[in-house]
Amino acid sequence: MKLHVSGFSAVLLLWLLVSSSVQEDAHKTGCLSTTDTKTPHTNLRSYTIQQKPLFPVHAVRFLTLKGITICSDPTSPWAIKAMKHLNGKKKQRQSNITIRPSVKVVHMDTSTTNMARVSAQLKKQTYGPPMSCCLRLRDRKLHLDKILNYRIQTEDLCPIRAVLFQTVAGKTLCSDPESSWTKSAMWKVDEEQRKLRGQIPEAVEGASVDGCNTSPPGCCLTVKNIRIPAFNIVGYSIQEIPLCSIKAVRFQMVAGKTLCSKPESNWTKSAMRKVKEEQRKLRAGS
């Protein structure tokens, strides 16, 4: 009797070992049979479906977080709910993925002869709107005396049409170009600039007197020791030898003129710093 019980125990132990081995290797070799094993859905990692005649039985192979495979009947309620649970988790992971386009770095050459080419490179290789674009319009109306300047953005470079007003506080206001307030503000700025052009010394009025050739490549031929208020400057570029005959800083003014200055002068360095600071504020306020 004891021998019979011992023999039965040995057979049972052997069956359990074989069954466990088959279940653990099922994701490699396929399920040979299905079981009624049930585990909480949160313990499952993934599943695959096997079908006849490639495999002995039609089954769903569930892989648990511990790497164990459960072979289940695909028509059982538990298996159906488990597959729905895993499908939902997969969709949630996919919806949380944000695809970010790669951005290529463009090494900019500040020489005038290369500015057109660099501009084309930026348009071609930059993804998304430029940092200084208005992304939405505001209905805010400031007192016109608080506006220093404006520029118009178009839809070829930015997502929307807008007018960017620069205020005396260094902020940027994005306005609807069709609104009556925007048109009044633009008209006032234009009037102020016309008055300013009448006050600018003749030495910076044109290419024939300021030593700056405004046609391509646009190099300064001489530099002037003229100092104008920094808020009248909207940008600058640096020209170098040998692309141009002399080293100079070309300041672009609100009046549309160009001032050629000596790079080493204290006023030039101060004006360049102020332009950079205004551009930084403009990017931060957009």
Task: Give the pLDDT confidence of 237-280 residue by residue, as tens digits.
Answer: 888 877 778 888 988 887 678 889 999 999 999 988 888 887 77
Q: Where are the beta strands (DSSP E) in the chain?
A: 44-50, 59-64, 69-72, 147-153, 162-167, 172-175, 233-239, 248-253, 258-261
Q: Where are the domains positioned within the chain?
A: 2-94, 112-197, 199-285
Two tokens, residue 217: 């490549």
Most confident of the following: 119-123, 144-148, 151-155? 144-148
Helix (H) or strand (E) holding 29, with range, is helix 26-29
Using 50, 70 and 90 to split pLDDT, how confident is the model at 213?
A: very low
Domain 199-285 fold = OB fold (Dihydrolipoamide Acetyltransferase, E2P) (2.40.50)
In CATH, the architecture of 112-197 is Beta Barrel (2.40)
Q: What is the pLDDT of residue 70?
A: 93
Most confident of the following: 6-20, 38-52, 190-204? 38-52
Most confident of the following: 50-54, 64-68, 109-113, 123-127? 64-68
Instruction: Please state, in angstroms and rounded to a whole number, the distance separating the CA atoms of residues 141 and 102.
Output: 38
Same topology for domains 2-94 and 112-197, yes or no? yes
Task: Give the pLDDT confidence of 159-184 residue by residue, as tens digits.
Answer: 888 888 888 887 888 999 899 999 98
Average pLDDT, the chain: 73
Two tokens, residue 174: 């994005």
Residues 6+ apart with CB under 8 A from 27: 48, 61, 63, 69
Domain 2-94 fold = OB fold (Dihydrolipoamide Acetyltransferase, E2P) (2.40.50)
Supply the pTM of this predicted model.
0.30
- Residue 149 backbone phi and psi in degrees, to 5: -160, 170
